Amino acid sequence: MEYLLHILILIGIYVILAVSLNLIVGYSGLLSIAHASFYGVGAYVAALLALKLHSPFLANIICAIILSGLLGAIVGIPSLRIRDDYFAIATFAFQVITFSVMNNWVSFTGGPMGLPGIPRPAIFGWKITTHYDFLIVILVLCIIILWISHKIVTSPFGRVLKAVREDEIFAQAMGKNVASYKVLIFVIGAGMASVAGVMYAYYISFIDPTSFTIMESILIISIVIIGGAGNIWGSVLGAAVLVILPEALRFLGMPSSIAANMRQIIYGALLVIFMLFRPQGFIGEYTFRK
């Protein structure tokens, strides 16, 4: 039972990550390979605040969202000058740099040793300790984020985002301030991703840089693409499939020594297969063609 709850919690975390990345990649057409850094920023902000200042859970979430959102703006701004794959490389650079900071600023982040002993959070006196408690909190956060995302993509704002994705020249000719949309969606996506990081840090109660690597970024992209870019429900589906699939391998009796590699191979192979044969994913609408 614990195990089942654990899987559900993980799915919840990846739903948040994938939906928030989908806003950036799937709706706005900005390929970002930096999403794990926002995830990491959320985790580190929460962990550091909880460990050093003993500040409450909700305050930490808000701090994480603000800081991550600011970083999101910094990553988003280059998209005004460089585009497509060059922009993707710029986000890659950002990802490497944030990882480098997490890994090397030892006095602050604990470096490769990470930050252990993150205390259990509490909301207005309700101590979140069991798997059940965590699942409920994550479920609520997922619903809030899905609701916000749904509102965004179905609003006139979302219509402009899609126009920016498909043809930004046309959007400009129709009076849309393309630059502000790009930066804003990065801020929003980054802020949301940090929420997943906060929850991860509290849930595992230990974080280290290896959870926020470039490979993690690629995994989140795979979820978005396999589920379907440009469809938030696709990301929910994608998160469920990509979390459950490798777990299924365990039940098929795969030794744990090769499980980690097999997991990655599955992600990678699915990414290749979908790009080749079904670039719109299960239920998406954007296929990265211009």
Partner 1 sequence: MKPALNIKSVNKKFDGTVALDDFSLEIPQNSITGIIGPNGAGKTTLFNVITGFLPLDSGKIIYNGKNLSRMPSYKIARAGIARTFQQLRLITRMTVLDNILLSFQNQAGEYLKNTFLFPGRVKKQERKNREKANELLAFMGIEEKAGDLVEDLSYGQQKMISLACCLASGADLLLLDEPVAGINPSMIEKILMVIKKLPEAGKTFVIIEHNIEAVMRVCDRVIFMDEGKKIAEGDPESVRHDPAVIEAYLE
Partner 2 sequence: MLAQVLLNGLIAGSTYALIGISFGLIYMPTRFFHFAHGVVYAAGAYGTLAAISWLNLPLSIAVLVGVGTSTVIGLTIECTVYRALRRRSASSLVFLLTSLGLYIVLQNSISLFFGDYIQSIRIGAVEEGIDILGARITPAQILIVSMSLALTVAVTILLKRTKMGRAIRAVANDAELADISGINRDKVFFRTFAIGSALAGVAGILVAFDSDFCPTMGINALMMGVVAVIIGGVGSIHGIALGALLIGMAQQFGVWKIGSQWQNAIAFVILLIFLLFRPQGFLGKKVKKVTV
Residues forming the site for partner 1 (CB under 8 A): 148, 151-152, 155-157, 159-160, 162-163, 166-167, 169-178, 184, 285
Q: Specify the residue, 104 or 155, whose C-beta has the smaller distance to partner 1.
A: 155
Q: How many CB atoms lie within 10 A of CB 66?
A: 14
Return the structure tokens found at 225: 């693409």
If one asks whether residue 174 binds partner 2 (CB under 8 A), the answer comes out as: no
Identify which range of 50-58, 85-93, 198-206, 230-238 contacts partner 2 by CB under 8 A.
85-93
Q: Specify the residue, 37 or 149, whose C-beta has the smaller distance to partner 1.
A: 149
Q: Phi then psi for 127, rounded to 5 degrees?
A: -80, 130
If one asks whether residue 101 binds partner 2 (CB under 8 A), the answer comes out as: yes
If one asks whether residue 109 binds partner 2 (CB under 8 A), the answer comes out as: no
Taking CB within 5 to 8 Å according to partner kind, which of partner 2, partner 1, none is near residue 222? partner 2
- 98 burial (CB, 10 Å; 0-12 / 13-18 / 19+) is buried
If one asks whether residue 146 binds partner 2 (CB under 8 A), the answer comes out as: no
CA 241 to chain centre: 16
If one asks whether residue 83 binds partner 2 (CB under 8 A), the answer comes out as: yes
Q: Specify the residue, 244 or 269, whose C-beta has the smaller distance to partner 2.
A: 269
Q: How far apart are CA 132 and CA 126, in angstroms?
A: 13
If one asks whether residue 1 binds partner 2 (CB under 8 A), the answer comes out as: no
Binding site for partner 2 (CB under 8 A): 31, 33, 78, 81-86, 88-90, 92-94, 96-97, 100-101, 103-104, 168-169, 214-215, 218, 221-222, 225, 258, 261-262, 264-265, 267-272, 275-276, 279, 287-290
